[in-house]
Amino acid sequence: MNTRTLIPSLSVVAIAMAGATAHAEQAHSDTSAAPRSPNIVFIYADDMSWTGSSVAMIQGDPSSRSDFYQTPNLEALAATGMVFSNAYSPGALCTPSRAGLLTGQTPAQLRITTPGRGKVDDSRKVLTPQPTTQLPPSITTIGTALKTQGYATALLGKWHIGREDHAGRFGFDQHDEATQNDNQGTPQDPKEIFSLTQRGIEFIEQSVNANQPFYLQISHYAVHSPTQSRPESRDKFNALAAGQYHSDPDYAGMTWDLDTSLAPLLQALDDLGISDNTYVVFSSDHGAPGNRRNPYNAPLFGGKGSLYEGGIRVPLIISGPGVNIGYSDKNVSGTDLFATFASWAGAKVDAPESEDLTPLLTDNDDKFQRRHALLFHYPHYGRGSQTPQTALIADQWKLLRDWEQGSDQLFNLKEDIGETQDLADKEPKTLAKMIALMDARLTNIEAQLPIPNSDYDPNVAPRRRGNRR
């Protein structure tokens, strides 16, 4: 792995590195006996927008990064690896995305399409299905797949897949039980950002000392609401001019704190002598909240909970042994990390919804072929004006279905990233092809669909509704 330039906050790094410093000399002397299987560190942000960092998601395009937030350590990580311009979360909400990533299956296939069990509302135009909230007990996950290859595994932080199960039941040696959005943050450790990092470093040390390859997933509670940041971080951004789209100094401070936590983690890999054999991956579970009034995801439209680009397009950065430095514009999904991590570990998995990204990382793009277009499925009513939607992305084309209105929109994302021009009438052949692809996919995976409500009365106001996210 190439040398990184880290931008630490000295007081925080001193605390977080205390454990690593104590063991670094001993661990470094044992690197000659270290296993050849690569280690994997996955940093999973919560609710971070595609433009939620200072890393440009499209090379040379300043509109594809924040106009206010600063994330110098993510910039340093991106400079040593690959940035995916067209990366998507499995879903637009937390639980579906996390389930899809862990298993390599789409939320529609898992029938985990919203947090909780949804809400039956017979006052609406369509009736929505009741999803599940639990993973099947026997399902293969990143944890179980890597344990077959002798990996130590940890998923620290947010779980949020049901209220009964936890990561320990799905292949993770260390975990934090069935955590939801709640955390034990303090003014100097907002959202547990730094304590999660310290515990991650301790897990790495344990694995290195045991001469065991490891998978570490730090599922942060940041940058999910409510906003929490260290006072000094908030003060830093209070002193700066606000951006056009991003202007909240507390949110910027929280983002800065999350970025700051990367420094001691990456430094620990260097001090332990394992950087050259460790992949580091950064992504988010979906986009930030946003709408026409608050376009926090601009230039993307929409936000969390919506299948417009602002809800599902996310940052994805991968650095590690053999990874080329640069950008990829291929359509990829969080579900693809399942097959990719398994490939790195030498595990064989059966995951037709998940593609191994290794060819894209190693300059073998011609060997990368998607077996299926990317499918996103939210057959529910949500907060605000969110209605049941399904989206399908194939190459530059995106089909977006509104189940309540019975309508389909067609967008060319290569030319219209903000989804401002519906081309359904101008591109009838493409529209028909995309509709056929979507309908076939939904049928093949037996997705749950909304159905017309025969008792719907347009003169009766719908009941108030909402799902916890």
The contacts of residue 186 (CB under 8 Å, 6+ apart) are: none
Q: What percentage of the chain reaches a pLDDT higher than 70?
A: 90
Domain(s) labelled CATH 3.40.720.10 in the chain stretch across: 10-110+133-366
Q: Which residue has the tokens 């602002």?
A: 310
Q: How far is CA 408 from CA 344, 386, 387, 436, in A?
A: 39, 16, 13, 12
pLDDT of residue 34: 44
Task: Average the pLDDT over 400-425 and give the result.
Answer: 97
| Rounded CA separation 124/122 (Å) | 5
| Rounded CA separation 143/226 (Å) | 30
- Are 313 and 419 in contact by the 8 Å Cβ rule? The answer is no
> SS3 of 148, please?
coil
> How much is the mean pLDDT over the chain?
90
Least trusted range by pLDDT, from 9-13, 199-203, 350-354, 423-427: 9-13
In the structure, what pLDDT confidence band is assigned to residue 30 with cuts at 50, 70 and 90? very low
**What class is the 376-452 domain?**
alpha beta
Residue 323 one-letter amino acid = V
Query: Before 226, cis peptide (omega within 30)?
Result: yes
pLDDT of residue 295: 87
Domain(s) labelled CATH 3.30.1120.10 in the chain stretch across: 376-452
pLDDT of residue 183: 87
DSSP H helical ranges for 49-104: 72-78, 94-103
Residue 324 pLDDT more than 50?
Answer: yes
Question: Would the pTM of this model clear 0.85, i.e. be above it?
Answer: yes
| Rounded CA separation 437/91 (Å) | 19
Task: Average the pLDDT over 112-124 and give the result.
Answer: 83
User: In the structure encoding, which two tokens stand for residue 39, read together?
Assistant: 């280690």
CATH of range 10-110+133-366; options 3.40.50.1980, 3.40.50.720, 3.40.720.10, 3.90.1170.50: 3.40.720.10
In tens, the pLDDT along 253-307 reads 999 999 999 999 999 999 999 999 999 999 999 999 998 888 899 999 999 999 9
Looking at per-residue pLDDT, the higher value among 461 and 133 belongs to: 133
In the chain, what is the straight-line distance between the N-terminal and C-terminal CA atoms, in Å? Answer: 37
In tens, the pLDDT along 45-79 reads 999 999 999 999 999 999 999 999 999 999 999 99
Residue 12 pLDDT more than 60?
Answer: no
Residue 2 pLDDT more than 60?
Answer: no
Residue 27 pLDDT more than 90?
Answer: no
Q: Which residue has the tokens 């359509």?
A: 331
Task: Work out the angle between the directed axes of helices 262-271 and 18-29 (0-180°, nearest 10).
Answer: 20
- Are 24 and 278 in contact by the 8 Å Cβ rule? The answer is no
- Are 342 and 349 in contact by the 8 Å Cβ rule? The answer is yes
Task: Average the pLDDT over 90-107 and give the result.
Answer: 96
Task: Average the pLDDT over 104-128 and give the result.
Answer: 89
In the structure, what pLDDT confidence band is assigned to residue 463 with cuts at 50, 70 and 90? low
| Rounded CA separation 360/347 (Å) | 19
Least trusted range by pLDDT, from 131-135, 305-309, 327-331, 345-349: 131-135
Adjacency order of strands within the sheet including 389-394: 374-378, 389-394, 397-402, 407-412
